[in-house]
Amino acid sequence: MYDPLVDDFPGPAQPHVRSYWQARHGAELAQLPNANAALPEHADIIVIGGGYTGLNAALELAERFGQQVVLLEANKLGWGCSTRNAGFAMPGTGRLGYGDWEKRVGVDVTQAIKDEYEHAFARLQRHVDACPAGLEAQRGGYLKIAHNPQAIESLRASFNILKRYEPATKWLDAAGIQARVHSPQAHAAIHYPQSFGLNPLLLLASVARQASAAGVSIIEDAPVKQWDRVEQLHRLHTGKGRICAPKVVIATNGYTPNHLHPSNHGRSLPVLSSVIVTRPLTADEKIAIGLQSTELVMDTRTLKYYYRLLPDGRLMFGGRGAIRGKDAHHPRYARHLLEALRGTFPALKELTNAPPDFYWSGWVNVALDNYPRIYTPAPGIFTSMGYCGAGVTFSQLAGQRLAELAMGEELPALPFYQSALPKFPLPHLRRVGQWAFYQLARWRSL
Ligand SMILES: Cc1cc2nc3c(=O)[nH]c(=O)nc-3n(C[C@H](O)[C@H](O)[C@H](O)COP(=O)(O)OP(=O)(O)OC[C@H]3O[C@@H](n4cnc5c(N)ncnc54)[C@H](O)[C@@H]3O)c2cc1C
């Protein structure tokens, strides 16, 4: 599997991963009207990366700012995380909760961050409305579950802060959560009613159709392999030829090759996140686990597990994956998720004895200080990355903010927009640090 810290660029022309989403709705991504025209020699602005961030940026640049935009995707649109994710649409991004933000930036800025998350939800709703199937939204909210009794106290403390910002959230004690999720690893929970489950591939297709209708030229199978300057212009060398522009948007996130541009080197850690999807549960199995088909669930482990019942009754269960791309497909990682699923729902013993119907992984982008940045790393270059695995909702707005930044508009005075992604100390040792973190987290979550 492509590895951003090892390979020079992804692709070209790699097919989509064999995911549950792809198996059901792959045809949605078939030829778009403006897709795969010949590569022009010039553009007003080039967007690298055909996921949510890149497509939203391109859409905004073409629709609102009237720019001639060329979007370059190394493989097929949505080949990265944007068709591989679990479809949890939640407020927030990165790994910082409101309590962490209050300590860093105070109550007023934290409230402004919360308002920004609302803008992201509003933009996501635009894409829901533009999709005939409504993105197959499952609107039962999200449950954050204390996976053991020791986790209750800190979950309760975070709830006490959270309810100042999101008053509709509810606390569920042991009896309350056991009534909804029959698991020995469910001891208390916070319910967030605003969150919902969606079909990530339909979301990608919805944004892509709008971008295409706005006039964006989408070029697939065109990895950027080399980057130089011709006077004031950036010149990108792709598998399909060369293109120049005064401005370039980098929207490659967890798939960013380590040396795409000197300004991005060593500023993020690509981390593999993996999911399994089981066969459809029987009626008895559904009763045994109690889970409703409308709820999203995540636990309180440092390395979290998350799950949801899909519209056709299958169970999706996710967590961390391998460290290196070359190990991503090793059967032990699917086995590890099956074992974790069995620990969560012992009643599914028979189901977890068989291999899952689907297993896949993708690279999420982790920032050193746990939150993303949208910034100008070098003259004429604009980027947004570092969502730390929470990008389905936020990336919709991030693309818009990225377009505004590229067009010289002032962004809200929030931490996401005020600095560059910090560089990792000793970047060549990022994976050694990640391995050590995994060992520690596993020991602490027992
Ligand atoms: C298994 C999994 C589950 C997840 N679940 C959730 C979830 O439930 N909720 C949530 O909020 N987030 C989730 N995420 C994270 C979320 O999917 C991402 O944050 C989001 O999709 C990022 O979108 P993006 O457009 O920034 O990047 P991506 O969708 O990853 O797109 C980047 C694109 O850049 C392209 N690219 C890279 N280099 C080049 C180059 N040199 N030339 C041209 N193109 C290039 C790649 O091919 C890729 O298509 C999950 C991620 C994974 C892997």
pLDDT tens figures, 145-173: 999 999 999 999 999 999 999 999 999 99
Q: How far apart, in whole angstroms, are the C-alpha atoms of residue 233 and residue 240?
A: 19
Q: What does the pLDDT read at residue 317?
A: 98
> For 276-319, how does the pLDDT look when each residue is reduced to its tens digit (9 = 90+)?
999 999 999 999 999 988 899 999 998 899 999 999 999 999 99
Ligand 1 near 199 CB (within 6 A): no
Atom of ligand 1 nearest to the CA of 361: 1
The values of phi and psi at residue 225, to 5°, are -105, -25
Ligand 1 near 389 CB (within 6 A): yes
Q: Is the pLDDT of residue 435 over 60?
A: yes
Q: What does the pLDDT read at residue 316?
A: 98
Three-state SS string over 52-98 comes to HHHHHHHHHHHHCCCCCEEEECCCCCCCCHHHCCCCEECCCCCCCCH
- Match domain 138-196+270-366 to its CATH number in 3.30.9.10, 3.40.30.10, 3.30.465.10, 2.60.120.200: 3.30.9.10
Tokens in use for 2?
Answer: 């492509």
**Alpha carbon 86 to chain centroid, angstroms:** 9
> Which regions of the chain carry the CATH code 3.30.9.10?
138-196+270-366
The values of phi and psi at residue 13, to 5°, are 60, 30
Name which of 35-39, 82-86, 219-223, 335-339 the model is least confident about: 35-39
Q: How far apart, in whole angstroms, are the C-alpha atoms of residue 215 and residue 194?
A: 33
Ligand 1 near 253 CB (within 6 A): yes
The rounded mean pLDDT for the chain is: 95
Q: Is the pLDDT of residue 131 over 60?
A: yes
> For 339-382, how does the pLDDT look when each residue is reduced to its tens digit (9 = 90+)?
999 999 999 999 999 999 999 999 999 999 999 999 999 999 99
Q: Which of 240, 252, 359, 383 to mutate to test the pocket of ligand 1 (most atoms within 8 A of CB)?
A: 252
Closest residue by Cα to atom 18, ligand 1, is 391
> Which regions of the chain carry the CATH code 3.50.50.60?
1-137+197-267+368-446
CATH hierarchy code of domain 1-137+197-267+368-446? 3.50.50.60
Q: What does the pLDDT read at residue 306?
A: 97
- What are the residues whose beta carbons fall under 8 Å from the beta carbon of 147, sequence distance 6 or more? 185, 186, 187, 299, 300, 301, 305, 445
Atom of ligand 1 nearest to the CA of 9: 41
199/321: higher pLDDT: 199
- What are the residues whose beta carbons fall under 8 Å from the beta carbon of 145, sequence distance 6 or more? 177, 181, 183, 185, 186, 187, 188, 189, 297, 298, 299, 300
Q: What does the pLDDT read at residue 445?
A: 66
Q: Return the residue matching tokens 């392999």.
A: 225
Ligand 1 near 85 CB (within 6 A): yes
- What are the residues whose beta carbons fall under 8 Å from the beta carbon of 11, sequence distance 6 or more? 2, 74, 75, 79, 221, 223, 239
pLDDT confidence bin for 191, thresholds 50/70/90: very high
Ligand 1 near 258 CB (within 6 A): no
- In 173-326, the DSSP E strands lie at 189-192, 196-197, 217-219, 224-230, 233-238, 241-245, 247-250, 269-280, 296-299, 306-309, 314-320
Q: Which of 253, 273, 388 to mutate to test the pocket of ligand 1 (most atoms within 8 A of CB)?
A: 253
Ligand 1 near 252 CB (within 6 A): yes
Name which of 23-37, 48-62, 150-164, 376-390 the model is least confident about: 23-37
> For 386-415, how does the pLDDT look when each residue is reduced to its tens digit (9 = 90+)?
999 999 999 999 999 999 999 999 999 999
- What are the residues whose beta carbons fall under 8 Å from the beta carbon of 398, sequence distance 6 or more? 53, 56, 93, 120, 372, 374, 384, 387, 391
Q: Is the pLDDT of residue 418 over 60?
A: yes
Question: Are 190 and 172 in contact, with CB atoms under 8 Å apart?
Answer: yes
Q: Return the residue matching tokens 């000197």.
A: 262
Q: Which of 60, 392, 394 to mutate to test the pocket of ligand 1 (most atoms within 8 A of CB)?
A: 392
38/407: higher pLDDT: 407
**Cis-peptide into 257, omega within 30 deg:** no
Q: Is the pLDDT of residue 383 over 80?
A: yes
Average confidence (pLDDT) over 101-111 = 97
Ligand 1 near 250 CB (within 6 A): no
Tokens in use for 76?
Answer: 């097929």
> For 192-237, how does the pLDDT look when each residue is reduced to its tens digit (9 = 90+)?
999 999 999 999 999 999 999 999 999 999 999 999 999 999 999 9
Give the containing element (helix H, strand E) for 210.
Answer: helix 200-213
Q: Is the pLDDT of residue 442 over 90?
A: no
